[in-house]
A and B are shown apart, each in its own frame.
Chain A
Amino acid sequence: FEDDMENPQSPQQRPPLLQQCCNELHQEEPLCVCPTLKGASKAVKQQGQQLQQVISRIYQTATHLPKVCNIPQVSVCPFQKTMPGPSY
């Protein structure tokens, strides 16, 4: 089996923590899944993750969580990717 974070997993295959996350998302209104995920991502970022690569990874993971968790009516959350500007 390939372990790709973009591929949906059956509940039996999910790590316990991911399963808990999926349970939380399933309790949300479909329209609120992405906004709340964005809030969660922001909260994690504010916990001290200042590295651009880490921040990008947070949002990248959050983007595909609805699909991974098989959330109805939601496939991905189109978060805006953080784009560092030119450093000159």
Chain B
Amino acid sequence: PAGPFRIPKCRKEFQQAQHLRACQQWLHKQAMQSGSG
């Protein structure tokens, strides 16, 4: 018997020390490089 379709579960417990580490570094870099304009 096939169960109900389950939507892929996102990682609710975000592990900031590991997950999307490169993206975090990129966001930080872009935010800090932003100047006037």
A24 in contact with B23 (CB, 8 Å): yes
Determine the chain A residues whose CB is within 8 A of the CB of B27 once the complex forms: 40-41, 44, 58, 61-62
Interface size of A by CB at 8 A reads: 31
Determine the chain A residues whose CB is within 8 A of the CB of B16 once the complex forms: 39-40, 42-43, 46
Q: Does A73 contact B (CB under 8 A)?
A: no
B31 in contact with A21 (CB, 8 Å): no
Enumerate chain A interface residues (CB-CB to B < 8 A). 5, 17-18, 20-21, 23-25, 29, 31-32, 35-37, 39-44, 46-47, 49, 53-55, 57-58, 61-62, 65
Enumerate chain B interface residues (CB-CB to A < 8 A). 7-8, 10-11, 14, 16, 19-32, 34
